[in-house]
Chain A
Amino acid sequence: EAGVAQSPRYKIIEKRQSVAFWCNPISGHATLYWYQQILGQGPKLLIQFQNNGVVDDSQLPKDRFSAERLKGVDSTLKIQPAKLEDSAVYLCASSSTSGIRTPQYFGPGTRLTVL
C-alpha cells in the first residue's frame, strides 16, 4: 500500500512570495490533515478535511493560508504572502475515517524556508 505522498520536499522562498504544497493521501482515506511543525516543536494541526469538506480550520491563519481538497482526494495548501515565521515542515496525514480511535499516517513533509 502506497503511503502519503507530498511535494515538493523542500522549498526556499523570499518573504512576501507565495508557495503551494501538494498532498496525495493513502487511497481510500476519507480524512486528510495538514500540520505545521516548527523546528523543535511538535506538529500543530492547521486544517482537517473529511472528503472535500472542512471539519476543522480553527488554527489556520486564514489571512494568508488557504487549503482545498476539491475532489475529496488530493489537497493543496497555499501560503500567500509568506512570512519569516512560516518557516517550518508542513506535514500531510490521512486516516481511513475521522474516528477518534483511527490512527493517522503521515507523509514525508515539505520543508519550507522563508528568507
Chain B
Amino acid sequence: KQEVTQIPAALSVPEGENLVLNCSFTDSAIYNLQWFRQDPGKGLTSLLLIQSSQREQTSGRLNASLDKSSGRSTLYIAASQPGDSATYLCAVRPRSNDYKLSFGAGTTVTVRA
C-alpha cells in the first residue's frame, strides 16, 4: 500500500525567504504526482502535476521536482509572500490496479510579513 509522508507538518518563514516542501512516497511505481494548495475552509487547488516521465515542472514562482527512484518530490516556492500561507498537499497516483490518489497529510505554511 502506498504511503505518502510530508515533513514538516508545519513551517513558518519570514516574507521573501524561499520555501522548500518535501514529499516522500514508499512505492516508486507511480503514474504521476500532484501538488495541491488548500486554504482554510476551501477545497484543493491544483498547483503542479508531474508525470512519471518528467523530472520537474515549473509555474511562475513554483517549481516541483520528482525523483521516482528515491520516492521523493520537492516543491520550491521562490521569494515567499504572505499570500502563500496555506496547507500544501502532495498526492501520488500509483501504477497498479488500485490507482486511487494517495495523499500526504500536508505541510501548513505561514509566511510572516
Residues of chain A at the chain B interface (Cβ within 8 Å): 4, 6, 9, 40-45, 48, 56, 59, 91, 93, 100-101, 103-109, 111
Q: Which residues of A are found within 8 Å of B68, using beta-carbon distances?
A: none
* Cβ 8 A contact of A42, one of B42, B51, B104: B104
In the complex, the answer to whether A106 meets B100 with C-beta atoms within 8 Å is: no
Q: Which residues of A are found within 8 Å of B31, using beta-carbon distances?
A: 100-101
Question: In the bound complex, how far is the Cα of B61 from the Cα of A87, in angstroms?
Answer: 36
Total A-B residue contacts, Cβ distance less than 8 Å? 54
- In the complex, the chain A residue whose C-beta lies closest to that of B4 is A42
Q: Which residues of B are found within 8 Å of A105, using beta-carbon distances?
A: 46
Question: In the bound complex, how far is the Cα of B45 from the Cα of A104, in angstroms?
Answer: 9
In the complex, the answer to whether A41 meets B46 with C-beta atoms within 8 Å is: no
Kindly provide the distance from the CB of B21 to the nearest chain A CB, expressed in whole angstroms: 14
Do A108 and B43 contact each other (CB < 8 Å), given the known contacts A101-B31, A103-B34?
A: yes
Do A100 and B93 contact each other (CB < 8 Å), given the known contacts A42-B4, A109-B42, A109-B43?
A: yes
- In the complex, the chain B residue whose C-beta lies closest to that of A111 is B41
In the complex, the answer to whether A103 meets B43 with C-beta atoms within 8 Å is: no
* Cβ 8 A contact of A103, one of B49, B89, B104: B49
Question: In the bound complex, how far is the Cα of B42 from the Cα of A6, in angstroms?
Answer: 11
Q: Which residues of B are found within 8 Å of A48, using beta-carbon distances?
A: 100
Do A45 and B99 contact each other (CB < 8 Å), given the known contacts A100-B31, A105-B46?
A: no
